[in-house]
Structure 1
Amino acid sequence: MAGAGAGAGGVGTGIVTRGWRALPAPALLLPALGARLSAGLAAEAAQRRLFPWLAVAFGAGALLFLTVADGPPVLAAPLGTGLALAGAAVALRARAVAPALLLAASFVFFGFAAAAIRTASVAAPVVARTVIAPLHGFVEALEEREEGARLVVRVVRLGEMPAAERPARVRVSYRRADGLRPGDYIEAKARLLPPPEPARPGGYDFSRDAYFRGIGAVGSLLGSATVKAPPEPAPLALRLAAGLDEARNALTRRIAESNGGQGGSAQGGITQAGAVAAALVTGKRGLIDQDTNDTLRAAGIYHVVSISGLHMVLAAGVVFWLARALLALVPGLALAWPIKKMAAVLAMVAVTGYCAFSGWDLAAERSLVMTLVMLGAILVDRPALSLRNLALAALISLAREPEGLLGPSFQMSFGAVAGLVACARLIDGRLWNPEGAGPVTRGLAWLLATVIGTLATTLVAQIATAPFATYHFQTVQPFGLVGNALTLPLVSLVVMPAAVLGILAHPFALDRPVWWAMGLAVRGMLDISAWIESFDRATVVLPAFGPGALGLMTVALLLLVLPVSGLRWLGLAPGLVGLALAASPVRPDLYVDREGGAAALRGSDGRLVVLGKPPAFVLEQWLKADGDGRSRDDPGLTAGARCDRLGCVAHGPGGVSVALVRDKRAFAEDCARATVVVTRLEAPPGCAAAHVLDRRFLAAHGSTTLRFTPEGAVVETAKRPGEARPWRPAPVKAPAPPAPAAPSQITPGPAAPAEAPGPTAPAAPPDGEDAEVQADP
């Protein structure tokens, strides 16, 4: 029996062992996964593909500071930690994996420190409330628009405001700017507001962009502006910037007027073809009207009018080709000197000048860095288009302006180029070039390669940039592939070469025929865009998804693009999860303006009902975030809301009622009946509504959304009370009101500003979206 028992025990153990080995136990797979990971990292190191991850780590550190850090850090902490980790990586350089991980960690801290240094270096006062006062200052930049102009003024004096509170620059609109020029010293009465905060939680934050541009207030000039003699000479840097801006304005007007009468609506002798042609050269987009902007967006080619990667590459390419061709005509130079490198140097000089003349915009500067790095690779006999060069350009851009990481321009530019580099072999024209073929066959093969290459390039760029474009703009252009395929040949072969030729001919006053010819190509581009806009559902509005989905899709893009080993397939999992989250976003049921002057509630039909009169830009942001394709002027937006002089009332899902209070006399009734009370006033103590979003609460929390669930309302706000962000000035404190008695009332934040903008104030610039436009591939 004992032997039988032992035999039985042995048999049982074998069955269990074999069964255990057959099961996919994660613990048993860990050694194999670890070995594969080590082998993959070793392959990446052998191919020198770990360097691009340093740029990713640097960006992660900058992102950590810009989104999470609350207050200024002690710079010695991130810098010291980064240096210590880098030293440890050097000490352990004989190891296989540890040095790479330590070096990546050190770059996280370096990126954190770079963002902190940049934030401190641009620190300047920001107005905390509406100010109406005499403004004295220098016109630093002037952009003509359809009506009037938009000025950036370097402030010298603002009423009696002390220097410690006075903003360094303000951006103002002015309806009568004919007599003003950049560099003028002006005196005018101005109405200034704090740069607007997000229209919704997670939305575009103009106040952050304005802070990093040195703009401490936005608004308008009231009455006329008088040009006076300055109390002291303008700084040299300002005079240079103003002179350059004046030259840009003069060339913008010259290009636009050279295309008068070409067709399309002409205003003041300027057609939209001329306005777009001027924007392509000088970066001044103020003369382009809203209808043309919408047409270009519907065709998916709005990136063409934003001077960035496409323009830099084409300008550099044209100059490089012309310089090399001219140098090759001189036998002595062609045989004795490296004319390819000489042409690269000339192209670097030319493209830098182009960037400066176009306004040195953030998107143009990042594209310039990328172009210079790739031209520099020619000088050291390296491949121009590589992920290492792209990573180096990203590191330089992030070190200079880490805040750009949060904008769509940086994300889409580098995402598109990374996708193109990774897929370069698949879209290389040499795959379609048959060896030993005759001239006709080679010509057909070249044509096929050009068509397929254009389509493939556009497709890859659109796929790589789709997550970022959808996250920031909530729109998709299904026919963008067609629009880019039809218009980019015009831009590449006619428009940009004409732009380079026109700039060269301009000093000789021989440029008007060139601008006219360029306008013909631009007119063709606009006609193609208008044709695509006429398609059904040329623009599809999608509900906004959260940063979590964008983060997962970004990780997926990095994993699919950067590795050369099998590690790239690790990107499938986060990509699929991110797509699933983006496809099923959670939409709020109530949007509340940051000032309490308006709201939008989900009605019985599932669409938003607007209460009050929100600023046009704010309403547009709400509609897009909700996936609502209606225009902000649609009269049906207010259907379902009952309004009078005291306020508005509407009913939402689950019997929820929302009251917008305009007059304090409505508090007694609305506090007793409504589920949510929204007001720009200060609610009385004891207001019995379940949620009170009044002036005190919104001053501390900013724009707010509510989602009504069976368990209660889920509240999201644009900011946290007491959150220290340099681009968000602390509210001006008023005498503290009595504490509210209702326990269900949302706890109010700090006191509201002493003077809040009125309901007709320009709470956000109507062209706020232009601050960051879709970057080009």
Structure 2
Amino acid sequence: MAGERAATAVRSLPARVAGRLPTPSLALGDLRKAFIGAVAQEAGQRRLFPWLAVAFGAGILIELTATDGQPMLAAPLLAAGCAMAATFALRARPVALALMLGLATAFLGFAAAAYRVASVASPVLARTMIAPLTGLVEALDEREQGARLIVKVIAFGTLEEGGRPTRVRVSYRKAQAIKPGHRISAVARLLPPPEAARPGGYDFARDAWFRGIGAVGSLTGRIDVIAPDGPLPWGLRLAAAIDDARNALTRRITDATGGQGGAVAAALVTGKRGLISPQTNDVLRAAGIYHVVSISGLHMVLAAGVVFWLVRALLALVPVLALTWPIKKIAAGAAMAGVTAYCAFSGWDIAAERSWIMTLVMLGAILVDRPALSMRNLALAAMIALAREPEALLGPSFQMSFGAVAGLIACAPLLNGRVLAGERRSWLGRSLSFLATAVIGTLATTLVAQIATAPFSTYHFQTVQPFGLVGNALTLPLVSLVVMPSAVIGILAYPFALDQPVWWLMGQAVRGMLAISTWIAGFGQANVVVPAYGPWALALLAAALLFATLLVSRLRWLALLPAFGGLALAAVPTRYDVFIDRGGAGAAIRGADGRLAVLGKPPNFVLEQWLKADGDGRRADQVGAGDGARCDRLGCTIRMKDGRWLALAKDKRALFEDCARVAILVTHRDAPPGCAAGLILDRKFFAQHGAAMIRLEAAGPVLVTVRKPGPPPPWRPPPAVKRPAAKPETPVPDQPSGFAAYGSPAAEDTVASGADAPVEPLQ
């Protein structure tokens, strides 16, 4: 009997356990309820609005990177209007309503980018030219030797108005009495703005085009200042007057302080960084505080904070005003005016302008009795900044500044609070609490900002500063308590000619900052170079940052998925074995030791970009041709890691011999007809495709290039030679020589666009 009951119990155990376990339908229902509850929590805390900024940026990204040609502006505007009209029918369905609003915002971002591209369109110089240049000096940046000018072109050689650049950036080495607003005439050597040194690298041509610069170069010989034909436009007169005042104040600060301390102090006030030496820049980067030199969010916030505090403190000294006037709002209005004047005086640089918009939004929130520091305000500032300059989305300045602020806002509840507060009420206890809170707060905010900006800084610059936390913790108190208050007081005292002592004090603080930076730069591995990783890794890491900062419910844990995926992709970046200059002047080839060796004479900047992309921390002057290279006055040959030969031919007499024996031929000349080299990269190739990289694989070489197939973007003049459109990255089928003959379909299939990586902004 008992055995039968036991057997029955055992047989019924699966059914009873199954009855206690949730069925798949119940589990899905619970998951749905949890998701709806999380979304309701996000909506209750007003965290859905920031995602509109994400949608706006997504529309911009699609227009700038995925479109082939110039879209019609009416198309995205019409689509946005239709999506907005559909929201009226979806008011009873919150999820569908939110998705439709996001779609409409994405179309508006697409339209903003399309309008920006159309509005800044201007001619780009198609080839290198040496000819007389006549133009108006719009801006001047002094250097240790000479200066660099932005010139609005009136005439250049025989080029007609529709074919000559609107603006050019030129430099000269000799001292000349030139000021902004002068009309000058000189012989200029101009060339098209250089494109990226490697696929996915820094595209100067794109950033220059959005600034209206259609050529770069230098002035040779004498520069004549000639009388203008008539009065200058008021906008140019105002811009020239502001730039001239900036240069005058820069000289006054450097004269009062002297040395590199004066150069850095002047850059902090006026934004003119031309007098800072490369060595000082390297020291600041190694210490992780180079962001202090660029007029951006830190400067705008500190300047606004100093003005806000001064005005509010002065008004609070008068009891009648303190009791009857809204002194906090008055101080916020004064800070808005002050930060606007500071942004205008610093030259309205792109990074400064974005920070100015963000600061105005934060101060405007005070005027309408809203929290100044909120994710909603940050999203509004991002959309305003992107509406003005959609191209900024692709650059590190925008990504790092808004990423850092988003991280700080998200972590603000964890960073608030005082240390050692509550029990000790004596002056010593309060002093210790204030000091400990300031130190811990500085370290915590620096750590959060570094984590939030790390994906963008490593992607764009391939460098990591392990001691950046120490550098920021030691130098930011000097910047916050001495440098920036001195800058504000110095500017106020400048019209009265009472500013020299203030600049001297500021210079001493800057010297202390440089001393700390030099000490940190002396540490081993203060500047670590990491290999360049692809855009998909950056996209996943950026998505992880968005999930972690914009969400407040349990949905925030979703950030772990893209974070792990992005880190996995970044840990195994694609490594290329051959880097080739955009004009065939030089190449870098991986040797048997696994390191790059250089052939020819690529520019130092280009070679350093290649080294960083490969995770190599050597300087350009530390890289040689390697043991396996054979060079003479006609060119060089080197054995690659797969045993085949690559030739860099500088003279046409070497072409016939190299064509008969090498697998890859690189030359800035035209290859002879019938060249038997497996892969030929000659003048016609570079005119069509630009700089290139090659990855050697068992199936054959894989070639990627800067220029993508199809119509060129507006910032790049059409290539002189037309070739069939290339397909995405594909290995070359094995041929008797080991490579497909250039010009064959197999070789053309290996030409990839290199457009899968975003570009960096003008530095």
TM-score (norm 2): 0.92
3-state SS of the aligned residue for 2:704? strand
The one-letter code matched in structure 1 to 2:116 is R
3-state SS of the aligned residue for 1:281? helix
Establish whether residue 222 from structure 1 lines up as the match of residue 204 from structure 2.
Answer: no
Alignment match, 2:138: 140
Establish whether residue 656 from structure 1 lines up as the match of residue 644 from structure 2.
Answer: yes
3-state SS of the aligned residue for 1:381? coil
Establish whether residue 670 from structure 1 lines up as the match of residue 666 from structure 2.
Answer: no
Establish whether residue 514 from structure 1 lines up as the match of residue 510 from structure 2.
Answer: no
Contact 1:454 1:485 in 2 (8 A): yes
Find the partner of 2:557 among 564, 569, 572.
569
- Name the CA distance, whole Å, in 2 between partners of 1:511 and 1:230: 35
- Name the CA distance, whole Å, in 1 between partners of 2:582 and 2:275: 31
The one-letter code matched in structure 1 to 2:589 is L
Establish whether residue 625 from structure 1 lines up as the match of residue 616 from structure 2.
Answer: no
Alignment match, 2:380: 392
Find the partner of 2:742 among 732, 743, 746.
746
Question: How far 1:194 sits from its partner (Å)?
Answer: 0.4
CA-to-aligned-CA distance 1:92-113 (integer Å, 9 cap, x gap): 1221211111111111111011
Alignment match, 1:771: 762
Alignment match, 1:759: none
- Name the CA distance, whole Å, in 2 between partners of 1:351 and 1:292: 28
Question: How far 1:77 sits from its partner (Å)?
Answer: 1.2
Matches within 5 A, 1:116-131: 116-131=114-129
- Name the CA distance, whole Å, in 2 between partners of 1:177 and 1:398: 39
The one-letter code matched in structure 2 to 1:576 is F
CA-to-aligned-CA distance 1:439-474 (integer Å, 9 cap, x gap): 322221121111100000000000000010000111
The one-letter code matched in structure 2 to 1:422 is A
- Name the CA distance, whole Å, in 2 between partners of 1:345 and 1:28: 56
Contact 2:662 2:677 in 1 (8 A): yes
3-state SS of the aligned residue for 1:425? helix
- Worse overlay, 549-558 or 178-187: 178-187
- Worse overlay, 382-391 or 690-699: 690-699
- Name the CA distance, whole Å, in 1 between partners of 2:287 and 2:623: 27
Alignment match, 1:297: 285
Alignment match, 2:359: 371
The one-letter code matched in structure 1 to 2:471 is G
Question: How far 1:19 sits from its partner (Å)?
Answer: 7.9
Alignment match, 2:748: none
The one-letter code matched in structure 1 to 2:65 is T
Alignment match, 2:48: 50
Gaps of 5+ in 2: 1-7, 725-734, 746-758
Of all paired residues, the percent bearing the same amino acid is: 65
CA-to-aligned-CA distance 1:215-254 (integer Å, 9 cap, x gap): 0000000111100012333221111111110000000000
Contact 1:434 1:442 in 2 (8 A): no
Counterparts in 2 of 1:709 and 1:15: CA distance versus 1, 3 Å: farther
Matches within 5 A, 1:389-468: 389-430=377-418, 433-434=421-422, 437-468=425-456
Question: How far 1:429 sits from its partner (Å)?
Answer: 3.2
Give the root-mean-square deviation of aligned CA atoms: 2.4
3-state SS of the aligned residue for 1:655? coil
Alignment match, 1:347: 335
Question: How far 1:21 sits from its partner (Å)?
Answer: 10
3-state SS of the aligned residue for 2:642? helix
Matches within 5 A, 1:57-96: 57-96=55-94
Question: How far 1:75 sits from its partner (Å)?
Answer: 1.3
3-state SS of the aligned residue for 2:671? coil
Alignment match, 1:716: 704
3-state SS of the aligned residue for 1:633? helix
Counterparts in 2 of 1:17 and 1:647: CA distance versus 1, 3 Å: farther
Contact 2:69 2:713 in 1 (8 A): yes
Question: How far 1:89 sits from its partner (Å)?
Answer: 2.0
3-state SS of the aligned residue for 1:333? helix
Question: How far 1:687 sits from its partner (Å)?
Answer: 1.9
Contact 1:195 1:206 in 2 (8 A): yes
Question: How far 1:350 sits from its partner (Å)?
Answer: 0.4
- Name the CA distance, whole Å, in 2 between partners of 1:189 and 1:732: 26
Question: How far 1:650 sits from its partner (Å)?
Answer: 1.1
Alignment match, 2:749: none
- Name the CA distance, whole Å, in 1 between partners of 2:684 and 2:600: 19
Contact 1:610 1:641 in 2 (8 A): no
Counterparts in 2 of 1:104 and 1:734: CA distance versus 1, 3 Å: closer
Alignment match, 2:301: 313
Alignment match, 1:267: none
Contact 1:141 1:152 in 2 (8 A): yes
Counterparts in 2 of 1:60 and 1:232: CA distance versus 1, 3 Å: same
- Name the CA distance, whole Å, in 2 between partners of 1:13 and 1:217: 84
Matches within 5 A, 1:532-611: 532-611=520-599
- Name the CA distance, whole Å, in 2 between partners of 1:20 and 1:130: 81
- Worse overlay, 495-504 or 717-726: 717-726
- Name the CA distance, whole Å, in 1 between partners of 2:268 and 2:73: 41
The one-letter code matched in structure 2 to 1:488 is L
CA-to-aligned-CA distance 1:291-315 (integer Å, 9 cap, x gap): 0000100100000100000000000
- Name the CA distance, whole Å, in 2 between partners of 1:418 and 1:616: 37
Question: How far 1:425 sits from its partner (Å)?
Answer: 1.2
- Name the CA distance, whole Å, in 2 between partners of 1:727 and 1:431: 54
The one-letter code matched in structure 2 to 1:45 is A
- Name the CA distance, whole Å, in 1 between partners of 2:663 and 2:467: 44
Contact 2:150 2:169 in 1 (8 A): yes
- Name the CA distance, whole Å, in 2 between partners of 1:93 and 1:35: 21
Alignment match, 1:645: 633
Alignment match, 2:234: 236
Question: How far 1:38 sits from its partner (Å)?
Answer: 2.5
- Name the CA distance, whole Å, in 1 between partners of 2:114 and 2:308: 38
Counterparts in 2 of 1:21 and 1:649: CA distance versus 1, 3 Å: farther
- Worse overlay, 95-104 or 517-526: 95-104
- Name the CA distance, whole Å, in 1 between partners of 2:511 and 2:500: 16
Question: How far 1:629 sits from its partner (Å)?
Answer: 0.7
Question: How far 1:24 sits from its partner (Å)?
Answer: 11
Aligned length: 731
Alignment match, 1:524: 512
The one-letter code matched in structure 2 to 1:455 is L
- Name the CA distance, whole Å, in 2 between partners of 1:685 and 1:564: 66
Gaps of 5+ in 1: 1-7, 261-270, 750-767, 773-777
Contact 1:41 1:97 in 2 (8 A): no
Contact 1:42 1:96 in 2 (8 A): no
CA-to-aligned-CA distance 1:375-401 (integer Å, 9 cap, x gap): 001001111111001000000000000
3-state SS of the aligned residue for 2:414? coil
Establish whether residue 154 from structure 1 lines up as the match of residue 142 from structure 2.
Answer: no
Alignment match, 2:488: 500
Question: How far 1:34 sits from its partner (Å)?
Answer: 3.7
- Worse overlay, 342-351 or 230-239: 230-239
- Name the CA distance, whole Å, in 2 between partners of 1:102 and 1:73: 22
Question: How far 1:685 sits from its partner (Å)?
Answer: 2.6
- Name the CA distance, whole Å, in 2 between partners of 1:178 and 1:689: 51
3-state SS of the aligned residue for 1:728? coil
Alignment match, 1:730: 718
3-state SS of the aligned residue for 1:273? helix
Question: How far 1:343 sits from its partner (Å)?
Answer: 0.5
Contact 2:203 2:760 in 1 (8 A): no
CA-to-aligned-CA distance 1:619-659 (integer Å, 9 cap, x gap): 11001111111111115455532211221111121113211
CA-to-aligned-CA distance 1:478-522 (integer Å, 9 cap, x gap): 000000000000000000000000000000000011000100000
Contact 2:688 2:721 in 1 (8 A): no
The one-letter code matched in structure 2 to 1:608 is L
Contact 2:688 2:723 in 1 (8 A): no
CA-to-aligned-CA distance 1:69-126 (integer Å, 9 cap, x gap): 1111111211111121122123212212111111111111110110000111111000
Find the partner of 1:108 among 106, 109, 112.
106
Alignment match, 1:5: none
